Amino acid sequence: MKTSTKKSMAVKAATVKFPTTEKKNNDKIENQRASSSKRILKEMQEKEYPFPDSDVPHIFDELLARRLIELPQSKRPEEVGKTNDPKYCKYHRVVSHPIEK
Task: Assess whether pLDDT exceeds 70 at residue 3.
Answer: no
Enter the pTM of the model: 0.47
* Strands, E assignment, 1-101: 88-89, 94-95
- pLDDT of res. 5: 66
CA distances from 29 to 21, 42, 43 (A): 12, 20, 21
Of the pLDDT bands very low, low, confident and very high (cuts 50, 70, 90), residue 17 is low
* Better pLDDT: 64 or 3: 64
Of the pLDDT bands very low, low, confident and very high (cuts 50, 70, 90), residue 65 is very high
Average pLDDT of the chain to the nearest whole number: 76
Rounded CA-CA distance 78/85 in Å is 13
Residue pair 91/99 in contact (Cβ under 8 Å)? The answer is yes
